[in-house]
Amino acid sequence: MPLFPNARIDTYLSAAGENEETRLKETLERASVYEETGAEGVFVPGVVEPATVRKPAAGIALPLNVMAGPGAPTVAEPGAPGAARVGVGSGIGQAAHALVRAAARELLTTGTYGTPADGLAHGELNTLLGRD
């Protein structure tokens, strides 16, 4: 099975440094070190706006991966200025957990079952999982 070492750099996600210029400088320095040690991609969560994606994409020789979520541009927008991959991280899992919490809260507070009304039928779920 092929392995794709994708180095994660959290300088934007954690708002490291005083401003965007220092975050970019730190990001590029880390990306260079990761490339020298065998990384095949760089993951920079927190960079989604097309204008912001252009800067690390221009300075990093490896494919740039970014993380999107609610409020971020569409998947196509970060890709245009240089992102090779747009992921959602744990966002879908977090949304599923929120649905479970809402369903439990509804059941415990009102005794009704409306929250999971749009759930997948067993047959459809089995088909999605390749279990006809």
DSSP element (H, E) containing 104: helix 91-109
Task: Classify the phi-psi angles of 56: left when phi > 0, otherwise alpha if psi is within -120 to 50, otherwise beta.
Answer: alpha
Average pLDDT, the chain: 90
pTM: 0.75
* Residue range 20-56, pLDDT digits in tens: 889 999 999 999 999 999 999 999 998 888 888 889 9
